[in-house]
C-alpha cells in the first residue's frame, strides 16, 4: 500500500499545475468532485500574469540614475521638477505592484481552496 502522508497536491508543483494535472497526479480522477473541478478550471483560465518585480525595479532604477546628470547640471528648478515627477511615478509603480500582487495572492488563495475541495 502506498504511503499517503506525502500524497498531497501541495507537493506537486502547486500553483504551476492545471487542475487536470493535479487530478491526474492524485490518481483519483474518478473521485474528483466535478463542480469543484470546473470551478478550479475556470480559476485556472483566469490566472493573472505573475508580477515582475524586475520590471518595476528597472523602471525605478533608470529614473533614479537620471538624477545624476540633473544634479551635475546645477539647475535646482529642473531637478526639483524632475524629482517631483519621479516621486509620483514611484508612487504609481509601487501602488500598481501592490495591486497586482494582491490580485495574484487572492487568485492563488481561491485556486488553493478549489483544489482542496476537488480532492
Please indicate, yes or no, whether the overall pTM of this predicted structure exceeds 0.75: no
Q: Is the separation of the CB atoms in 18 and 25 below 8 Å? A: no
Give the three cell numbers for residue 35. Answer: 463542480
* Percentage helix, strand, coil for the chain under 3-state DSSP, each rounded to 5: 75, 0, 25
**DSSP one-letter code for 74:** T
Q: What residue segments make up the domains of the chain, in order of their start?
A: 9-118
Mutual orientation of helices 34-45 and 76-118 as an angle, nearest 10°? Answer: 160
Going residue by residue through the chain (119 aa), what tens digit of pLDDT does each one get?
A: 444 444 555 545 566 677 777 777 666 555 777 888 888 888 888 888 776 778 888 888 888 888 888 878 878 888 889 889 989 988 998 898 889 888 888 988 888 888 777 76
Q: With H, G, I as helix, E, B as strand and everything else as coil, classify residue 3.
A: coil
Amino acid at each position: 500500500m502506498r504511503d499517503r502522508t506525502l500524497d498531497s497536491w501541495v507537493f506537486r508543483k502547486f500553483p504551476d499545475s492545471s487542475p487536470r494535472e493535479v487530478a491526474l497526479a492524485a490518481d483519483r480522477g474518478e473521485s474528483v468532485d466535478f463542480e469543484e473541478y470546473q470551478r478550479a478550471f475556470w480559476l485556472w483560465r483566469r490566472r493573472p500574469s505573475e508580477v515582475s518585480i524586475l520590471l518595476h525595479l528597472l523602471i525605478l532604477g533608470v529614473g533614479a540614475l537620471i538624477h545624476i546628470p540633473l544634479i551635475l547640471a546645477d539647475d535646482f528648478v529642473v531637478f526639483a521638477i524632475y524629482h517631483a515627477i519621479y516621486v509620483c511615478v514611484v508612487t504609481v509603480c509601487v501602488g500598481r505592484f501592490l495591486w497586482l500582487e494582491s490580485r495574484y495572492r487572492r487568485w492563488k488563495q481561491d485556486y488553493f481552496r478549489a483544489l482542496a475541495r476537488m480532492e
